[in-house]
A and B are shown apart, each in its own frame.
Chain A
């Protein structure tokens, strides 16, 4: 027992990326158990999430010794398959936010996988190329632009924003110049009025309400307000595990997915929040380390893309629950309920682990 504990501590100190991510997953499961109100049935998302964790663990087991460099060859194939799936979703999808594809008993979101696939494709394209050359930058923009438009049309604003983050992160690490960034930024400003007209009304509303949430306390600003109440009422030490009233009585919708952070804040208070954020930062910092030690450009870019993806999710998710950013539907990786997101996150972690391994092997 003591030995085991020692082993875990050393794994934690060594910052084994897979180990840290499992700590986060475990943390997430505890929160989801509370969110399930302790009721464990086949239908509860706590049980479902455990199933997803098991499936993800099988992936981890299969690919634990894989070489990330083989992905470079496959990345374009993955890319085109994903584009194809995104188009299918656009036409076949059901409901207002048509993001899912049904495969028998489970549904998955191609847009979640698209994040990883874009990272791979962009990294693969940019490795050993000079992004400062205009054609290269232009093609990079197209590689991200196509899935961006498809996802934006779904409409899935959150994922689309993550795509932008991924592009910026990878191109930044690949050495994009300040002049290029500024011109891209100016271009975006020029295009944004166009995007505004394409946006769905509810998306526009969200951004408008963000600017003044109290203007409609029961309408569009409801989520922001309820989220703030939930977090604020946690206080220093929280209401205690399983004792949250806001989330339990479902005043906050989607408290088990996009607003899961509120539950942490409500039940574990400010202290719990700080511990959680530090843990997450520990995880992100590890990825930064992997970026710097990676021996190949492809590995560096992929690691950076993954870092930006996790950091983007983390910051935007917390930012929106805290009322710093507008509400865009973005889950908190490892913590929020959701199979596609969890599997993709675990795949990313496997890739990172592989990059780390092959960078020290030489």
Chain B
């Protein structure tokens, strides 16, 4: 019949196909599949990227690394996801939706270990270890975490670490940053991330199909990044944070002789080790990550009178003893301009007007000086311009165009003008040192593991502005009297001379009687200034701000009793200055 001959041909044909296929896979594509088979059973496990230590000016540790454990999984090894979700959600208090999303996502490299939760507690670790058999592909992996020894007190200054975002990755790809890396997301951690960041360590292991480690093939220790020394004084930083208390606002302290920032505090603050908490619990409505010192732009209020006074004295619009009568209000065109004191200050000269912050006086001389001249002076003292402090995200504030500003409002720092607290701190420092504009800075030096100095920031004198000597003397006298008997008496420290200026500003919608911004800038000691302070309260009055500044200065310069180490160090700082 011969039909079996056809069957034979049929089989032979398929055997040819099969042998050709084997030839293709085993001979032609051999290198490719061999590589894949190697990749299948050899996994590289990153043990984290150690970072450098951040010290304050006296060598106190502000931030460092500590060992921790992460919950990780290998997508390739996952089995029975529903059960895994069930177990993990109950052990680790993780959201089921988050788990499902994370576990079922398609990853580019399915052999990579993906982190589900960082910094497990010892209880969580033991529970996971107990249930490991029901959790194929899930592990507890040793890692490192960042510890901030001063927690919320240095949160805005140092920033925090967070997983690299897609846009950051695109920018930093060439510098060796990878997906999943934790990098500085704000503050010093972000500013100097490249230096702080070390070289990641890792181990190479052979694994079986369940991802269980068979043996370690190789180990590479991570190399920590470089250490950083800051100009910050941890003691002063603590004092500033404590004295600001739970008021919404910020404090910044600087050495007016060189621009070294000694403290930088913003409130509400956050726990830099627990960022997730703030994102989860809607606390972000309070903007805890918002660093008011450099990112907040507010009307300077009466602090701007410093500019008005210098402009008026230098242009000769007014002499030291020229008097102007304040009746509490004045009529300009079709509107009435009020002084903050309803009954008025009576006849006042400049020596009296500044301490009592008379709006009528400064409004009158401001109009005489003229809008363009006032703005020229504001720009001369670098208001409305970033100070160049070495922190990410500094804003500039706004100095209005001459045509858009009203001379009356401008001369008392109201209207469309905004400045940042750090600019006001810079302004008072210029007055304190007699015209030098130092760039505020936080980094002292970066030191490598070998002890080399990789980067050092020296005081940077941006420029020197000429201030008429006589005018400066009148101004300083006035500022001293602000604290002696004027609007800032609550900043007074017994036996100690402080020069300062209060500033209260209304929020944009004036009719609503919203709480005002209260600010106070000062320097001390009066005759030999070593410290400049700005206190800004988001909801508060300037006398309250002055009181906080006073308490801070008192604690810095007049330590009450030498009880514990902190106080001793405060005294040491005083000696240093």
Residue ranges of A at the interface with B (Cβ–Cβ < 8 Å): 169, 172-173, 175, 217-218, 226, 228-236, 245-246, 249-251, 253, 265, 269-270, 273-274, 277, 281, 284-285, 288, 291-292, 304, 307-308, 311, 315, 318-319, 322-324
Q: What A residues does B214 contact at CB under 8 A?
A: 249
CB distance from B209 to the nearest CB of A (A): 4
Residues of B6-50 contacting chain A, CB below 8 A: 7-8, 11-12, 14-15, 17-19, 21-23, 25-27, 29-30, 32-34, 36-37, 40-41
A190 to B530, CA, bound (A): 95
Kindly list the 3 A-B residue pairs having the minimum CB-CB distance in the complex, ordered from nearest.
Answer: A232-B33, A233-B37, A250-B209
CB distance from B500 to the nearest CB of A (A): 66
Most A C-beta atoms less than 10 A away, residue of B4, B78, B207, B210: B4
Point out the residue from B19, B29, B41 that lies within 8 Å of A232, measured CB to CB: B29
**Is there a chain A Cβ closer than 8 Å to B3's Cβ?**
yes
Question: Do A233 and B34 touch across chains, with their CB atoms under 8 A apart?
Answer: yes
Query: 15 additional contacts, CB 8 Å, given A315-B14, A324-B17?
Result: A169-B7, A172-B7, A218-B110, A232-B34, A235-B34, A250-B210, A265-B25, A269-B26, A274-B22, A291-B4, A311-B11, A315-B15, A319-B14, A322-B22, A324-B18
A227 to B206, CA, bound (A): 20
Question: Do A236 and B30 touch across chains, with their CB atoms under 8 A apart?
Answer: yes
CB distance from B391 to the nearest CB of A (A): 44
In the complex, the chain A residue whose C-beta lies closest to that of B29 is A232
Given the interface contacts A281-B11, A322-B21, does A245 sit within 8 Å of B37 by beta carbon? yes
**Is there a chain A Cβ closer than 8 Å to B76's Cβ?**
yes
Question: Do B26 and A231 touch across chains, with their CB atoms under 8 A apart?
Answer: yes
**Is there a chain A Cβ closer than 8 Å to B366's Cβ?**
no
**Is there a chain A Cβ closer than 8 Å to B208's Cβ?**
yes
Q: What A residues does B415 contact at CB under 8 A?
A: none
Point out the residue from B1, B23, B34 that lies within 8 Å of A270, measured CB to CB: B23
**Is there a chain A Cβ closer than 8 Å to B187's Cβ?**
no
Given the interface contacts A229-B36, A232-B30, A235-B27, does A285 sit within 8 Å of B22 by beta carbon? no
A250 to B17, CA, bound (A): 28
Question: Do B11 and A236 touch across chains, with their CB atoms under 8 A apart?
Answer: no
A168 to B254, CA, bound (A): 94
Q: What B residues does A308 contact at CB under 8 A?
A: 7
Q: What B residues does A232 contact at CB under 8 A?
A: 25-26, 29-30, 32-34, 36-37
List 27 contacting pairs A-B, 8 Å CB cutoff, sorted by A.
A169-B7, A173-B3, A175-B1, A217-B110, A218-B78, A229-B33, A231-B26, A232-B25, A232-B30, A232-B36, A233-B30, A233-B36, A233-B37, A235-B26, A246-B37, A246-B41, A249-B40, A250-B208, A273-B22, A274-B22, A281-B11, A281-B12, A281-B15, A288-B7, A292-B4, A304-B4, A319-B14
CB distance from A207 to the nearest CB of B (A): 19
Question: Do A245 and B41 touch across chains, with their CB atoms under 8 A apart?
Answer: yes
Given the interface contacts A229-B36, A230-B37, does A249 sit within 8 Å of B30 by beta carbon? no
Question: Do B37 and A322 touch across chains, with their CB atoms under 8 A apart?
Answer: no
Size category, B interface: 35 or more
Question: Do A231 and B209 touch across chains, with their CB atoms under 8 A apart?
Answer: no
Q: What A residues does B8 contact at CB under 8 A?
A: 285, 288
Question: Do A249 and B208 touch across chains, with their CB atoms under 8 A apart?
Answer: yes
Question: Do A322 and B4 touch across chains, with their CB atoms under 8 A apart?
Answer: no
**Is there a chain A Cβ closer than 8 Å to B478's Cβ?**
no
Question: Do B26 and A172 touch across chains, with their CB atoms under 8 A apart?
Answer: no
Question: Do B26 and A273 touch across chains, with their CB atoms under 8 A apart?
Answer: yes
Main secondary structure of the interface of B (DSSP, over half): helix
A229 to B209, CA, bound (A): 14
Question: Do A236 and B110 touch across chains, with their CB atoms under 8 A apart?
Answer: no
In the complex, the chain A residue whose C-beta lies closest to that of B107 is A218
A269 to B27, CA, bound (A): 9
Q: What A residues does B18 contact at CB under 8 A?
A: 277, 315, 318-319, 322, 324
Residue ranges of B at the interface with A (Cβ–Cβ < 8 Å): 1, 3-4, 7-8, 11-12, 14-15, 17-19, 21-23, 25-27, 29-30, 32-34, 36-37, 40-41, 75-76, 78, 110, 206-210, 214
Question: Do B7 and A265 touch across chains, with their CB atoms under 8 A apart?
Answer: no
CB distance from A353 to the nearest CB of B (A): 18
Question: Do B22 and A249 touch across chains, with their CB atoms under 8 A apart?
Answer: no
Q: What B residues does A284 contact at CB under 8 A?
A: 11
Q: What A residues does B110 contact at CB under 8 A?
A: 217-218
A177 to B214, CA, bound (A): 60
A217 to B106, CA, bound (A): 9
A315 to B15, CA, bound (A): 8
In the complex, the chain A residue whose C-beta lies closest to that of B37 is A233
A250 to B77, CA, bound (A): 11
A292 to B6, CA, bound (A): 12
A232 to B22, CA, bound (A): 8
A230 to B29, CA, bound (A): 12
Q: What A residues does B36 contact at CB under 8 A?
A: 229, 232-233
Q: What B residues does A251 contact at CB under 8 A?
A: 40-41, 209
Q: What A residues does B210 contact at CB under 8 A?
A: 250
Q: What A residues does B12 contact at CB under 8 A?
A: 281
Q: What B residues does A226 contact at CB under 8 A?
A: 40
A322 to B14, CA, bound (A): 12
CB distance from A291 to the nearest CB of B (A): 5
A246 to B41, CA, bound (A): 8
CB distance from B1 to the nearest CB of A (A): 8
CB distance from B404 to the nearest CB of A (A): 61
In the complex, the chain B residue whose C-beta lies closest to that of A266 is B37
Question: Do A228 and B76 touch across chains, with their CB atoms under 8 A apart?
Answer: no
In the complex, the chain B residue whose C-beta lies closest to that of A315 is B14
In the complex, the chain A residue whose C-beta lies closest to that of B2 is A292
A279 to B18, CA, bound (A): 14
Given the interface contacts A249-B207, A249-B209, does A231 sit within 8 Å of B33 by beta carbon? yes
In the complex, the chain A residue whose C-beta lies closest to that of B206 is A249
A351 to B30, CA, bound (A): 42
CB distance from B351 to the nearest CB of A (A): 80
Question: Do A229 and B40 touch across chains, with their CB atoms under 8 A apart?
Answer: yes
A165 to B21, CA, bound (A): 23
A250 to B41, CA, bound (A): 10
In the complex, the chain B residue whose C-beta lies closest to that of A253 is B209
A274 to B26, CA, bound (A): 11
Q: What B residues does A250 contact at CB under 8 A?
A: 208-210
In the complex, the chain B residue whose C-beta lies closest to that of A316 is B14
A217 to B27, CA, bound (A): 23
Point out the residue from A175, A265, A291 that lies within 8 Å of B22, measured CB to CB: A265
In the complex, the chain B residue whose C-beta lies closest to that of A216 is B106
A285 to B8, CA, bound (A): 7
A253 to B79, CA, bound (A): 13
Given the interface contacts A265-B26, A285-B8, does A233 sit within 8 Å of B15 by beta carbon? no
